[in-house]
Structure formats: C-alpha cells, structure tokens
Copies of this chain bind each other. A is one copy, B any other.
Amino acid sequence: MAELNENFIKLPGSYLFSTVAKKVSAYQEAHPQADLIRLGIGDVTKPIVPVVIEALHKAVDEMGHAETFRGYAPDLGYPFLREAIAAEYTRRGCEVSSDEIFVSDGAKSDSANIQEIFAPDSRIAVCDPVYPVYVDSNVMAGRTGDYDAADGTWSRVIYMPCTAENGFVPELPKETPDLIYLCFPNNPTGTTITKEQLQQWVDYANRVGAVILYDAAYEAYITEEGLPHSIYECEGARSCAIELKSFSKKAGFTGLRLGYTVVPKEIVRGGASANALWARRHGTKYNGTPYIIQRAGEAVLTPEGDREVMEQVRYYLRNARTIRDGLTAAGYTVYGGVNSPYVWLKTPDHMSSWDFFDLLLSEKNIVGTPGSGFGPHGEGYFRLTGFGTYENTERAISRMQKL
C-alpha cells in the first residue's frame, strides 16, 4: 500500500507567498475596481534589457536550424556560462573555478535542493526571520523534528533571532549546527553584514566543521563600500561555504529562471566531496538549464549587459530608498533599503503582521508581506519591496503616510 510522505504532511498551511496570492485574489474578486499596488512578493517589474533580448532572439534562431540546434545541455551548465561566471569571481579577487559552478533554473530550486546532499539527520541553523524555503525544504526531508503550532517553530531547528537589537545579524548559536543558512543582503530584513562579521561566521564554521549555505541572491544591490559581495572574500570560506546566486533580482530573470551554485572542491567530509555529490544530483535529478536561457545569462555578464542591468538595479534601489525615507518621515521605524531592494518596517501600534497586512490591503489597497510569515521573530514586522514602478512606489508611500 503506497503511503504519502508524512514529512510533507507535517508542513503547516501553504507556502507563504501562495497564501498572500490567495488573499489578494479574493480581495480583488470582491473589489474589482480596487487600484492595488503590489509591493509584496519580490518580483521585478522592469522588462528584460535589450542586450539580453537580443541574445535570446539569437539563441532562438539557432534552435531553429539543424546546424546550430542544441539538444540536451551539459547537466552542470554550458562551459561558456560557467567560465563567464568564474571570470566574475576572479575579477572580485575570489578563487572559484568553472568546475565549481553549477548552473540551474534558479536560486529557489538550488536553496531547496542543496540540503539533499547532506546527511538526513543534519541539524540546521537558520536566521529568524528567514526565507521560508530553507526551513520548508528541510521539513520535507524529515530533518526538523516536531512543529510547535503555538510559536511556529520546529524542535530540531536552531533559530538565530535577527532583530533590531542585534542589528539583524545573528549571534553564533549556542548549540552546534551542521548546516548554517545565511542570506546577505538579507531577505526579508533588507539589512546586510560586514566582511568582519562574515569572517567570524566562516571561522566558526571551520572550527566546528559546519557548512554555510550562503544565499547571495541580492548581492548586486550592495551600494556601500566594504561589504562582502561573496563569502569567498573571506579567508577559509572554500572549506566551509557553498554560495547560491541568482540572475532574478540582478537582471530581472524571475520569469526566465537562471541561477547557479558554487561548491568548492575543498568541502570534503568522510572522504566524499560535496562538489561530486552535487554534480551527481544534477546528473540524476536535473537535465540542464535551457540553452537559450544560458545565452541570456551570458549576455548579462558582458560589459554592455552589466551596464544595462545595473541601471535597473539602481532604479529599484531608488524605490527602496523612497520607501525608507517616506515611511521614516511619516514616523515608521524602518530598516534595510540601502543595500537591498527590501524595506523591513515595524508594524505601527504593535499590530500583528497579518493584521497589518489585512489593514494595508483593505484600507490602502497595498500588498506587502507579513513579517511573521518569515518566522516567529518576524512577528510585528512587515516587508515592502522596491521592485514596483517608481510611480506606484511613490503613490503607495503617500497612501501609507495618510494611514
């Protein structure tokens, strides 16, 4: 008798953004005239830049002719893209070779799948609040123990609170984890970490033998000097850190799907190599990223592509700054929005995150994301994103100032 996976059934409710989407649909159906402004899900609004569109058309044409048609892509990515990515690391002074780069359909898939190559009983540590995928994918893998509905925590997960009090940078955990998920610039808080702070994490991981899963999906949004763009800027990171990167937020690829993961060959445990295991997972459970999408990624990494996409990044950063400054002026307590497209605000009058979500949706027709959806320590916070249009962002802030 086939049985379904109890670990999946343990997952409470539905994925955060699906819940948000359902609430918004229901509101919209009931109020078809409402002029909704969406600053909730971290989806971009700017179109794909011209250099990338040109690369896509060219690759599509190649697919239409027998001489240039491409069938199965190499599991791990085309050499032209892996080498272009490795060259980016070299330019930053980081030691990463092309055979340590694994091209994928995006950082969400990678951050959900990467846990598979580690022991089933690994203990994970996550920031709280946190991008839900890190925890949920481990719940599905049966690693997280029991769920406490009262406070929304799992018994085997080590939570590292990130609040205003510690500047949203977690302290080293008291219990020793096997896997540590870090994301800087951070989703959802929009804050980041200094190189010295990150070096402490790398030293800690090497000391206790942990592996850091470093999500750098928002790296392109760093504007201040001295902040690490990659964990490999830290000494010793190659023996303890896997880095996840995305084209989604840098180049607007949320609908094109392209990301990559760096697995240094120095991560070896019990004689086995994490790099080899991740390669085996790609070879068995994945069949390569579409050729035309990989060509699009290559175009992003040209000087002209970089110029075009960074113009969009600066546009979104201006939005984030507009939210930050506008809400600060209106008396809100606000974080992030400087090295990140995300602004993290305290809900007014100690409202709960979901109450504030409902209020903003119904009174101001603004969609944000409730902080508690990212973990218990997100309660009382709320996330807005700079990914809307500038006009809508200004209108939304003006509405919120009148709340």
Contacts and interface: CB of A to CB of B under 8 A. Distances in A.
Interface string A108-123: 1100110011111010
A209 B4 CA distance: 12
A3 interface: yes
Contact of A257 (B3, B272, B288): B288
Contacts of A53: 60-61, 63-64
A1 B209 contact: yes
Nearest to A60: B56
A2 interface: yes
Interface in A231-287: 252, 254-257, 269-270, 272, 274, 277, 280-281, 283-287
Interface stretch (A154-162, A289-297, A333-341, A343-351): A289-297
A3 B43 contact: no
A140 B116 contact: yes
Nearest to A268: B4
A285 B179 contact: no
A305 to B, nearest CB: 14
Interface in A27-81: 41, 43-48, 50, 53, 56-57, 60-61, 63-66, 68-73, 75
A215 interface: no
A60 B291 CA distance: 14
A136 interface: yes
Contacts of A378: none
Nearest to A65: B47
A2 B64 contact: no
Nearest to A41: B72
A126 interface: no
A61 B179 CA distance: 42
Q: How large, as a class, is the contact surface on chain A?
A: 35 or more
A15 B280 contact: yes
Contacts of A5: 116-120, 277
A11 interface: yes
Contacts of A57: 57, 60
A133 interface: yes
Contacts of A45: 66, 69, 71
A284 B3 contact: no
A108 B286 contact: yes
A23 to B, nearest CB: 15
A58 to B, nearest CB: 10
A2 B179 contact: yes
16 contacts: A1-B269, A3-B269, A4-B117, A8-B116, A8-B280, A8-B281, A14-B280, A15-B284, A47-B64, A48-B64, A71-B254, A71-B255, A112-B285, A116-B140, A136-B284, A290-B293
